[in-house]
Amino acid sequence: MNLMLFGAPGAGKGTQAKFLIEKYNIPQISTGDILRAAIADKTDMGMEAKKFMDEGKLVPDSTIIGIIKDRLAESDCKDGFILDGFPRTLPQAESLNELMSDMGISLDRVISLNVPDELIVGRITGRRVCPKCGASLHVEFNPSKEEKVCDYCGGELIIRKDDNAETVKSRLEAYHAQTAPLIDFYTNMNVFTELDGTKDVSEVTKDMIESLS
């Protein structure tokens, strides 16, 4: 099953991805993670991306698409995958569609978690993440069993440096301006499903699994 999680920063995509990984045994593909991995592995695309980053420039869409292509070609994606954090713009979505068409695959479902901006600010400032396994928890909505310890791998939970109110509001503005138009794009492809992301984590998971049945 080829899935995409869609929604504003802090909508709960990372949390829900963990449940999808466990249920369907497919990998989560976060562009940030695969970019860092490609650079660490010194792949051709990774080295190209590093060149731009070392110069303080944004990594071009063509390079990101190349890194995604390499990742989708890996054996653990043969039964499906979960895209998280990409695409962010309409040109990226069009490039991704072209790539997947060339690879003979397509998206089965784009799941959007709808959460009002004011709730997102509270969510992100209370978020705690695990740099070891990528898990995302929250001090109020999805607390770890043991304070500052990841439930999944036992790593130390941290606060991301950009998880503050001012940065969050800026990221939300960018999301609404650049990414929200993708709703129409994927709706027209008949793969878009919007869920109420304000519910309890377990209820959102239940709605998500039902939408995929």
Measure the CA–CA gap between 123 and 184, rounded to whole angstroms. Answer: 26
What pLDDT is stored for residue 209 in this prediction?
94
Among 69, 171, 199, 206, which one carries the catalytic annotation?
A: 171
pLDDT digits (tens, 9 = 90+) for 49-104: 888 888 877 788 898 899 899 999 999 999 999 998 889 899 999 999 999 999 99
Verify whether residue 13 is a known catalytic residue: yes
What pLDDT is stored for residue 43 in this prediction?
86
Verify whether residue 171 is a known catalytic residue: yes
Verify whether residue 123 is a known catalytic residue: no
pTM for the full predicted model: 0.78
Among 18, 123, 127, 128, which one carries the catalytic annotation?
A: 127
Q: Which residue has the higher pLDDT, 141 or 62?
A: 62
- Domains belonging to the chain, first-starting first, are 2-115+178-212 (3.40.50.300)
Q: Quick one: which of 43, 88, 41, 79 has its CA closest to 63? A: 43
Verify whether residue 109 is a known catalytic residue: no
Q: Quick one: which of 119, 81, 128, 107 has its CA closest to 198? A: 119
Query: Does residue 3 have a pLDDT over 90?
Result: yes
Q: Quick one: which of 210, 205, 211 has its CA closest to 20? A: 205
Query: Which one-letter DSSP state was computed for residue 149?
Result: B
Q: Quick one: which of 75, 79, 89 has its CA closest to 31? A: 89
Verify whether residue 132 is a known catalytic residue: no
Measure the CA–CA gap between 117 and 10, rounded to whole angstroms. Answer: 9
Among 51, 148, 160, 206, which one carries the catalytic annotation?
A: 160
